[in-house]
Amino acid sequence: MDPKVAKADKKHAKIHSEKRRKDNSERKTGNEIFDKITLETLYKLANQGHIDILNGAISTGKEANVLTGITDDEKFVAVKIYRIATSDFKKMDYYLKGDPRFNVKTKNKRKIIYSWVTKEFKNLTRLYAAGVNVPEPITSANNVLLIEFIGDEDGNPAQPVKNQPPENPDEFWNLLMVELKKFVNEAKLVHGDLSNYNILNLNEKPVIIDVSQSVVLDNPISKELLERDINTLVREYTKLGVETSFEEVWEYVNPKF
């Protein structure tokens, strides 16, 4: 057999055997995310050298599952897989419509998800280039997004701030404000779902994730979304003991719509 084909075959077998292992041990994340398209997509990403092994679930969300992957050169990556069956197409459609970068006219659910994944990838690329602390995007294909793994060298993922509040909330808040300002003024995006669920605590530094719904400032809904994001943060960090207000944050970020 051609050695390349043999290697690809081996990877396919690995992904399949991982699936079997999961089916037995972690029924919750088992079959449903590994539909035929997802398997083919993972197989393609494996053949392109992006992932070698899928290594356990980090999170089972409403619409997506996040797993740890291991690359050929033994590095960890985060693999975010959108489930075609349970995605909220109305929401996706709403956010995609207002974005001048996307012209989605289709009613095809699979295509809407693919646009959604592309949107998350493009947003991450833009944020990363602007120097915002977000996972580095690696690649995306169909309903699968590969991004930098945020965690330690042993493959333990950094926890959302919701589960792991900062040791020093004031310091963490200041770092977060710097990220928020870059998010809006440099990347010219509004997150749209910013909360301590979507901020990871990586060694007491904030890493912002989950940017699929983030919108460009030109989007007519961006102002309202930024107001909501800031209100959420002010509420959450006031609870953690930070003294701040909506007006203070708004003035600091100083958005130009």
Ligand X SMILES: Nc1ncnc2c1ncn2[C@@H]1O[C@H](COP(=O)(O)OP(=O)(O)O)[C@@H](O)[C@H]1O
Which parts of this chain interact with ligand X (CB under 6 A)? 58-59, 61, 63-64, 66, 78, 80, 135, 147-151, 157-158, 160, 198, 209-210
Q: Minimum Å distance from CB 210 to ligand X?
A: 3
**Catalytic: 99?**
no
**Euclidean distance between CA atoms 109 and 144, whole angstroms:** 15
Which residue, among 122, 123, 100, 103, has the nearest Cα to 111 in the 3D structure?
103
**Euclidean distance between CA atoms 69 and 135, whole angstroms:** 14
Catalytic residue among 52, 99, 210, 229: 210
> Closer to ligand X at the Cβ: 5 or 129?
129
65 binds Mg ion (CB under 5 A): no
> Closer to ligand X at the Cβ: 55 or 244?
55
**Euclidean distance between CA atoms 75 and 55, whole angstroms:** 12
87 binds Mg ion (CB under 5 A): no
Q: Residues 213, 153, 180, CA angle at the centre, nearest 5°?
A: 30
**Catalytic: 193?**
yes
Residue 233 · residue 158 · CB < 8 Å: no
211 binds, among Mg ion, ligand X, none (CB under 5 to 8 A by kind): none
| Residue in 198, 201, 212, 213 binding Mg ion, rule: CB under 5 A | 198
Non-local (6+) Cβ contacts of 69 within 8 A are 50, 51, 52, 53, 54, 55, 76, 77, 78, 79, 146, 149
Which residue, among 232, 182, 235, 240, has the nearest Cα to 207 in the 3D structure?
182
> Quick one: which segment of 4-12, 151-159, 163-171, 207-215 binds Mg ion (CB under 5 A)?
207-215
229 binds Mg ion (CB under 5 A): no
157 binds, among Mg ion, ligand X, none (CB under 5 to 8 A by kind): ligand X
Of all residues in this chain, which one has the CB nearest to ligand X in the complex? Answer: 61
> Closer to ligand X at the Cβ: 20 or 75?
75
Distances (CA, A) of 12 to 50, 68, 129, 147: 13, 17, 33, 21
Catalytic residue among 170, 193, 218, 229: 193
Residues in the site for Mg ion, rule: CB under 5 A? 198, 210
Q: Which of the residues are catalytic? A: 193, 210
